[in-house]
Chain A
Amino acid sequence: MAGLQLLSEYGLRVDGRRPNELRQIRCKMGVFSQPDGSAYLEQGNTKVLAAVYGPHEVRLNRSKTHHDRAYINCQFSMAVFSTSERKRRPRGDRKSQEMDMNLNQIFESAIRTELYPRSRIDIYLEVLQADGSNFSACVNAATLALIDAGIPLKDYVCSCTSTLAPSQGGAPPTPMVDVNHVEETLGGPGLSMSTLPRLDSVVHLELSGTRLHLSHIDPVAEKAATGAADIMAVLDKAVRGHVAQCLHAREVSGQGADA
């Protein structure tokens, strides 16, 4: 792929976006009937489903309860057909286990777990089509599913992955936001950041791929943080729209305050 440049001479990326442009995000909440909360999110061609069960009683493994807060269990799984090469182990391999742990820690710090002692919240994520920024899309989908389940959060957890296009023609290297599969695999650094935008705090930061020079860390991290804040605007709009729809449906069906 010698001729493939991440950034063309007109400043356009491989899919025609500008360096600070996010992909189109489409999301829907309350898509399934069985889980307590569910959400479907598309970030460009990356399609992710999230389902939340809980808070509920811990039945089998009593050792996994905390006396003062809820136990969060996240499971990240990629569908076998989600990548261009058939994925042999959808879950349970090291990369997925690492993602499970990262997700657990992100949501333990974002969910108000002190409100549900001795109970358990399960978050299941399924990637149906992987086209880059899979982890970030999962975090965003999980946030929507948690909101759909009515679990109190400290803030929206928004995540974004950014990279650095190598310098060409003397121009300085340009940070680019919301990477797709081609940009991820071409071997540049990938900085994945999850933030609580309104509280202006970072809950998760991961750098993978090649090394990043110290002078470039700030612009790339800032791009990811701005990307996350933009994603929050999209998620917020989706949540408000969904709630308005639910209220309208309730009014139409004549349900009052009693269940």
Chain B
Amino acid sequence: MSVHIKTIHPMKYMRDFLARNIRPDGRKLSEVRPTAINVGSISTADGSALVKIGNTVVICGIKAELTVPNAENPNEGFVIPNVELPPLCSPQFKSGPPGETAQVSSQFLADILVNSKCVDLQSLCIMPDKLAWVLYCDLICLDHDGSVLDACVAALVSALCTVTLPEVKFDAITKNKTVELEKRRPLTLICFPFASTFATFDENSILADPSEEEESLCSGTISIVTSGDSLYSVHKPGGCQLSENRLSECISKAQKRSLTLRGMVEKSMESIKS
């Protein structure tokens, strides 16, 4: 019987649950789904990570290539994120060129990298104005069940932690590059930003880490990118109004979650070192 109400009156189904302060999958309103982070599984990539938040799965692979730096920033390298939402992850996506959601997510990640300065671009430069690293970060969503931005940011940061770059010697006169593939130095991150998404429902309830069906019924979402003590980005694309109190509540919840996620990334890094 409950299955029929869910199909015919999805909003009523949702509201009945929220009236009792619980969600259809049994979680409390501010409870997040179990998260798992796995790093270094793709050996052809220079850095990789797989993040699973509930049923949402995102994999990130980073490939490093050599290029000439920009004339405006001659001693900086590049980090280029790209999010792909293939039709394999959800029936709502069709095959073809990247759709709106994928492009918005890619830009969101690029903005976070610039705002948080989490990778020191100058450390990617080998010789100013001549040679620098460009890190192509490709994220593929394998299963779309809501909170994809959270999983993407977590996968990107975890994969960046695992990147090791080979030593490159560049002779400016002969323009000769020698790459020593065996000697690798890890990339150091300055900070670890993590995103938390909340869905607002009916101006009353705020659900942390919404699943796909909650996202489709909610009246707006808000994504907050923090790292423990600093706030990097707040992304609220329209949606219903949110009071200041509610916003500060969300920010503090996001900060707590980013600390937990950071602990998980460090634990998974330890496990591959051993």
Residues of A within 8 A of B (CB): 32-35, 45, 47, 49, 51, 53, 56, 75, 77, 79-84, 86, 90-91, 122, 124, 126, 128-131, 259
Contact = CB atoms under 8 A, between A and B. Distances in A.
Nearest to B91: A53
A53, A86, A131: most-surrounded residue (chain B CB, <10 A): A86
Contacts of A128: 42, 59, 61
A32, A51, A56, A91: most-surrounded residue (chain B CB, <10 A): A32
Contacts of B86: 77, 124, 126
A39 to B, nearest CB: 12
B44 A83 contact: yes
Main secondary structure of the interface of A (DSSP, over half): loop
Interface of B: 3, 41-45, 48, 55, 57, 59, 61-63, 65, 82, 84, 86-91, 95, 136, 138, 140, 142-145, 212
Given A34-B91, A126-B86, 10 more contacts: A32-B143, A34-B143, A34-B145, A49-B88, A75-B95, A81-B138, A128-B42, A128-B59, A129-B42, A130-B44
Contacts of B42: 47, 81-82, 128-129
B145 A81 contact: no
Contacts of A45: 43
A163 to B, nearest CB: 21
Contact of A34 (B62, B89, B138, B140): B89
A15 B63 CA distance: 25
Contacts of B3: 259
Contacts of A49: 88, 142
Contacts of A47: 41-42
B87 A124 contact: yes
Contacts of A35: 88
